[in-house]
Amino acid sequence: MTDDDRALLTFEEAHPRDTPTKMKAISQDLRISATRYYQRLQHLMEVPEVIQEFPGLTKRLQRLHARRKKARESRTF
């Protein structure tokens, strides 16, 4: 895990809800786009070192991911 990864995870712990303020802070504080932020977050929640160091955060992210996946799968077009 890199220092940038750790900074991203610490940022997510401090800002658990998606708000306009969070989106602005992602670009200002981390200097990446919101899309890239969520891509990296998705990847990191599966890394064993991250799971060990941030167990509460990874469990919360995995629950959110599972909930969103279930909602997508239940949609009909």
Domain spans of the chain, in order of start:
3-74
Q: Would you give the DSSP letter of residue 17?
A: S
Give the other-Cβ count within 10 Å of 25's Cβ: 14
| pLDDT value, residue 13 | 95
pLDDT of residue 8: 96
Comparing CA positions, the residue from 3, 72, 6 lying closest to residue 44 is 6
Per-residue pLDDT of the chain (77 residues; tens, 9 = 90+): 999 999 999 999 999 998 999 999 999 999 999 999 999 999 999 999 999 999 999 999 999 999 988 999 988 77
Give the per-residue pLDDT at 76.
Answer: 77
